[in-house]
Amino acid sequence: MSTEVSAHPPGQAPTFTTRDGVEIYYKDWGNKTAPVVFFSHGWPLDSDNWENQMFFLSNAGYRTVAHDRRGHGRSSQPWFGNDMDTYASDLDQLFTHLKLTDGVMVGHSTGGGEVARFTSRYGGHGRVKKAALVSSVTPFLLQTPGNPAGTPLSVFDGFRAAMVQNRAQFFLDVPTGPFFGFNRPNATVSQGLIDSWWSQGMAAGFVNAYECIKAFSETDFTEDLKKMDIPVLVLHGSDDQIVPIQASALAAIKLLSQGTLKIIPGGPHALPNIYAAEVNSILLDFIKG
């Protein structure tokens, strides 16, 4: 199907349709003539998880864009295409649809992998000038003989089993515990953040969220990072219980030709939420620098 730019009807959320017939929801905030910052969300969330950063940067004079990945949030829920290559192709079509160039991409967790795959395959010709990988699954999350610091497959099998048994409870257990670091002693627990995570996760299609576990855990982004010949910020929390820093940020920085590593001491996986003000400041400095 065509990805030509066309105005959406007044009062309706902006969407576009991919070549394989999937409707993708996106947000497009701020001054449309300003430099663009594109956000890619983590599993099993949607673009709402970036609203603090989008609001901040839009008010700082930037155009901010974020999508709901296929099968997530307000996008349609296809039975097919729940893999990193297709996610990157969807972004390629969205960038064409919105005529985005010379932008900065920011990805959290699964979204960091999506940014790396997109940038390595479609980010040339002035499309992407910088990228930020926040609590990112890059370069390779799965434990293998060649990647002993990774997370065992049994952990991700456990995720899938928990989804099949009782997705609603599993999607409550994750934010109540390790995602935000609320299981740590003296943590300040926010029921609002837990409820928001749960509602975003439950909005995702079941098969889409289920298959995305394989996409974020078993995709090797090593070669993608090596091809990223642009400035890349690697931002991670030292107490990330979802994507441990040893196999992710500390490995990723060694593969990037123009990488900058920033670690937030004691930071959990959910840096954009728990350390929103600090993340906003770091991103703004990186974008302007």
Residue type at position 211:
E
Residue 198 in 3-state DSSP?
Answer: helix
> How far is Cα 81 from Cα 90, in angstroms, rounded to an integer?
10
pLDDT at residue 212, as a whole number: 98
User: Which residues are CB-contacts of 90 (< 8 A; sequence separation ≥ 6)?
Assistant: 18, 22, 24, 67, 69, 70, 81
pLDDT at residue 184, as a whole number: 97
> How far is Cα 178 from Cα 260, in angstroms, rounded to an integer?
26
Q: Give the residue from 59, 95, 41, 65 showing the smallest Cα distance to 209.
A: 41
Q: Please list the active-site residues.
A: 109, 240, 269
Pairing type for strands 23-29 and 63-67 reads antiparallel
> How far is Cα 246 from Cα 60, in angstroms, rounded to an integer?
33
Pairing type for strands 103-108 and 232-237 reads unpaired
CA atoms within 13 A on the CB side of 8: 16
Spell out a b/e string for 71-110, using b for 16 or more CB atoms within 10 Å of the CB, else e: bbbbbbbbeebbbbebbbbbbbbbbebbebeebbbbbbbb
pLDDT at residue 12, as a whole number: 58
> How far is Cα 288 from Cα 32, in angstroms, rounded to an integer?
18
8 Å CB contact between 135 and 108? yes
Instruction: Measure Cα distances from 100 to 114, 212, 219 in Å.
Output: 17, 26, 26
8 Å CB contact between 61 and 196? no
pLDDT at residue 218, as a whole number: 98
pLDDT at residue 5, as a whole number: 36
Please name each of the domains of the chain with its CATH number: 17-288 (3.40.50.1820)
Q: Give the residue from 157, 276, 143 showing the smallest Cα distance to 220.
A: 143
Tokens of 194: 């837990």
User: Which residues are CB-contacts of 7 (< 8 A; sequence separation ≥ 6)?
Assistant: none
In the chain the first and final C-alpha atoms are separated, in Å, by: 39
Length of the chain: 289
pLDDT along the chain (289 residues), means of 10: 40 85 98 97 98 98 98 98 98 97 97 98 93 98 95 97 98 98 97 98 98 98 98 98 97 98 98 98 97
